[in-house]
Amino acid sequence: MREKASPGERDSLREHLPTRDTTWRFFRFCVLTVISFSINLGLTALLHEVFAIDERVSFAIALVVVFVVNFLMQRYYVYRAAGGSARRQLVLYLLSSLGFRGSEYLAFLLVHSVLGVHYLISVVGVLGVSFMAKFFFYGTVVFRGESKQASSSGCDPKNRDEPGQPQ
């Protein structure tokens, strides 16, 4: 039977756990994913069913709307990066979104066509890995530490806790 961890061992374990800020950011990223999916599906259906716009056009419009919503929500809600250059972030976000979509498709072809994994399992696996990669990529490259709060207070964004969250 193992005894309790010593204070030094507990500190070592804490170093490998995500910070409270990262955990809340990931939660907000998950919430945004649900919102984006809902907007994409709902807007496509609304445009087609109510306004009789062709499905292909409806879906294309929904993709553009969701792209804009995702960028704004990630900038202001998920990563709280309003302190950075919006132009730089938008360009990086656009390029990375295109890169992720292309990578997702190539990964799907590899997993499904080359490795022979069922197509639905391939989609879930590829999109799951991509979801996690996007969370970290957007946070470290596109919206890296450019929080309005961090830039105005001079504090390190890695050490911030969410306002109003228990300490």
Each residue's pLDDT tens digit, 90-112: 999 999 999 999 999 999 999 99
Determine the average pLDDT of the residues in 71-99.
Answer: 96
**DSSP for residue 3:** P
pLDDT score of 154: 35
In sequence order, what are the residues at sequence separation of 6 or more whose Cβ sits closer than 8 angstroms to the Cβ of residue 167?
A: 161
Write down how long the chain is.
Answer: 167
Provide, rounded to the nearest whole percent, the portion of the chain with pLDDT above 90.
74
User: Residue 7 above 90 pLDDT?
Assistant: no
Determine the average pLDDT of the residues in 114-134.
Answer: 95
pLDDT score of 138: 96
**What is the pTM for the complete model shown?**
0.76
User: Residue 2 above 80 pLDDT?
Assistant: no
pLDDT tier at 147, thresholds 50, 70, 90:
low
pLDDT score of 5: 63
Name which of 1-5, 30-34, 74-78 the model is least confident about: 1-5
Task: Dump pLDDT digits (tens) for 21-59.
Answer: 999 999 999 999 999 999 999 999 999 999 999 999 999
Integer Cα distance of 129 and 132 in angstroms: 5
Q: Outline where the chain has alpha helix (H).
A: 7-15, 20-45, 55-73, 86-108, 119-137, 148-153
